[in-house]
Amino acid sequence: MEGILWTDLDADEQRALAILGAGLSIELCDPVALVTLRRLGLIVGSHLTAAAHELRRRIVLEELSTRDCKLASYE
């Protein structure tokens, strides 16, 4: 799992991680995306693994830092 990046995942897989991370129903996720995420070790049952939580955290922090840089340039 170490080498997986957010951009390595397709839109359905990203959406499934977002849905499960938000605590919503697994029924809202694409079944094929769930199989892939399980195979990658990002979900177990209907829950995100620690690796998946870290992947989500990393992408959120990257997005926030990008936005902060853009906002700072307007000041």
Mean pLDDT, the chain, as a whole number? Answer: 89
pTM over 0.85: no
Domain membership of residue 1 (yes or no) is no
Asked if residue 69 has pLDDT above 90, the reply is no
**Which residue in 4, 54, 7, 11 sits closest to 19, CA to CA?**
11
Q: Span 25-35, mean pLDDT?
A: 97
Domain membership of residue 63 (yes or no) is yes
Asked if residue 74 has pLDDT above 70, the reply is no
Supply the pLDDT for residue 70. 63
> Contact 4/40 with Cβ under 8 angstroms?
yes
Show the CA angle centred on residue 42, arms to residues 3 and 2, nearest 5°: 20
Number of structural domains in the chain: 1
Q: Span 42-66, mean pLDDT?
A: 92
**Which residue in 59, 17, 57 sits closest to 38, CA to CA?**
17
Residue 56 belongs to domain spanning: 6-74
Bridge partners of 70? none
**pLDDT confidence of 72, banded at 50, 70, 90?**
low
